[in-house]
Amino acid sequence: MAIGATMHTFEVQLADVDRGVYEDLSLRVAQHPSETDAYMITRVLAYCLEYEEGITFSAGGVSTGEEPAILVKDLTGLITAWIEVGAPDAQRLHLGSKRADRAAIYTHRDPAKLLSAWRGKTIHQAEDIRFRSFDSVFIDEAVRCLTRRNTMSVSVTEGQVYLELNGTNLETQFSEHAIE
């Protein structure tokens, strides 16, 4: 018998001062059985940091051959943003960068290892892909706060991320990396 996804809810107050985005979000997040808690919280944070009209999680919660973990579509159904989470391979980045107006990556993994794996590979407009990483200690602390029903506030000011998750306050500065 196959194990189904675990549902998590997130009531989010988002205040992204850097982008001028202020929203209250109610998210139902399906955690695929193969998905770690660290990947899921990174996915939720990426959703918040990329929030705009038309954003959605892909079916099943994890990247598939056809879609990234998160994507943004315009009113006509065209993909405008391809947002990967974790450690996508160069071929997925190449595809996503070609299919969408913009592409981004958010990871909780070692960015140096990812950059090394992508070095020398063909990635369409690699220099335009936003690549951000979170400190692993920050992600580990956030994972310890997770429950099935979550309340969180995410504030972003000058690249600093302030997270209040189920009563615990955390902060980090995401790191930006150039793909060569």
Domain CATH code at residue 137: 3.10.640.10
The whole domain housing 139 covers 6-12+35-177
- Is residue 153's pLDDT more than 70? yes
Q: What pLDDT is recorded for position 4?
A: 80
pTM (2 decimals)? 0.94
Residue 29 lies in a domain: no
Residue 84 lies in a domain: yes
Residue 17 lies in a domain: no
Q: What pLDDT is recorded for position 34?
A: 86
Angle at 106 between CA 149 and CA 23, to 5 degrees: 50
CA distance 19 to 173: 16
Give the mean model confidence (pLDDT) for residues 78-94. Answer: 95
Query: What is the C-alpha R_g of the chain?
Result: 16
Q: How far is CA 139 from CA 44, 56, 171, in A?
A: 11, 22, 10
Does residue 144 sit in helix, strand or coil?
helix
Residue 152 lies in a domain: yes
What residues form DSSP beta bridges with 70? 57, 83
- 4-52 pLDDT per residue, tens: 889 999 999 999 999 999 999 999 999 988 899 999 999 999 999 999 9
- 96-139 pLDDT per residue, tens: 999 999 999 999 999 999 999 999 999 999 999 999 999 999 99
Residue 30 lies in a domain: no
Q: What pLDDT is recorded for position 174?
A: 87
**Count of the separate structural domains present in the chain:** 1
Among 106, 97, 152, 156, which Cα is nearest to 128's?
A: 97
What residues form DSSP beta bridges with 157? 160
Residue 18 lies in a domain: no
Q: What pLDDT is recorded for position 15?
A: 98
- Is residue 95's pLDDT more than 80? yes
Residue 39 lies in a domain: yes
CA distance 82 to 88: 12
- Is residue 65's pLDDT more than 70? no
Please, what's the b/e burial string for 42-66 (b: 16 or more CB within 10 A of its CB; e: otherwise)? bbbbbbbbbbeeebebbeebbbeee
What residues form DSSP beta bridges with 85? 106
Round to the nearest angstrom and report the end-to-end CA distance of the chain.
44
- CA-based diameter of the chain, in Å? 48
Q: What pLDDT is recorded for position 62?
A: 59
Residue 136 lies in a domain: yes
